[in-house]
Structure 1
Amino acid sequence: MPENFFITISDPDTPPKTNTQKRTSLTVDRTSPDYPHPFGKIPALLDGDVKVFESGAILMYLADKYGGLDTPAKRAEAGKWVVWANASLDPICFKEDGNGRVLGTGLADDPPPLRTLDALLADREFLLGNGEESFSVADVAVGSYLLYVPLFFPDINTLPRWPNVQRYMLQLLQRPAYAKAFGEGTAQQLQNVVSRKADSKLFGLF
């Protein structure tokens, strides 16, 4: 989970640019009434006069405007995964206390939703199907939460429990856009973590 994530779009015909900065160097005044998030939180997006907050809403807005979600059926097909990622996958990936502090990751266990996701990915490259044209905002939402786990918990060794999820994560890491957003070094580091083979003790073999 990035410390700060603020997006501005100055030209509606140009894809959005992102600006990520450390909290200590952020120059945006999040207390200003002009800031896109009414609660002064992040992430937030400003597109001309349009203000959007919450990551899921931002993803759907950008996909709607730039990604061809031009029918209710297409919006629903992608949107259900964005909502699932925020509402269900996030608390699995990151266990928090009552104050919102992350205590660990549920991926260290064997949560049933991960088994279901693994089964769904058995015959498809991306969440909405196969082929590059099937890559969508659904994969951005779900993949982001999954890939934040090895970023924050590099000792994670349970991913081989879900081989299709593991393969899916590696596919996303190898996309040029991921390396562009997070850096080549981070992308390669996470590929090494995600591709880690199963520990024999993980499956009770000694």
Structure 2
Amino acid sequence: MPEPVKGLRERKRLETHRALATTAVRLVAERGLDQVTVEDISAAAGVSPRTFFNYFASKEDAVVIAHADTAERTQRTIEKFLATPKEVSTPRAFVDALKEDFAQVDENREEWLGRMKAIQENATLHSRAVAMNHDTIAPMIEAIARRTGVDPKADLYPALVLSTLGGAVNAVLMLWYQHDGRMSALDLLDDAVELLLAGLPEPGGRAR
């Protein structure tokens, strides 16, 4: 599904958010969270602190929230997932729907290495990242339930699929980060879902 055409004002909003987010990540990765202020981020991005607070509630949010349209991106992912032909397995369909956004990890390698470094080194950022993802859980479980024709309140499957794939995404990002982004995050994601679909065979028994 193509991304909707955005007006000039909306594009400007998204661009300003991105400029602040990437600047915050860079400064925090270089100096440490406690050594960076909202004023530092604003000055480096060429905007006022007042403008900063039009986009973020705190410097922590500026590091963690990569895009202003997170809710819209989640909805597009759900729509792509639900539009995938039924002959594609649900876990594969879900991962395929994530790929367009996930590709940005590879495309913006330094930014994501800096963001992950900051999150790994600061418990407050880790907690904020977890909280930010919380709002996506219910609609994604509902989408999985809708595609598989089950009741999300009575059947374990939708929540289990989401939890399992969420764990796979986290494992992929950690391995990618540990290798300084030299491995393709998208390729690792494909490998992860194939391992899950194969029932997580023991490494010694897998084909080389």
Would you say same fold, with TM above 0.5? no
Higher relative contact order (CA 8 A, sep 6+): 2
- State TM-score, norm by structure 2: 0.30
From the two aligned structures, give the one with the greater strand fraction. Answer: 1
Give me the TM-score of the superposition, normalised by structure 1.
0.30
Greater helix share, structure number: 2
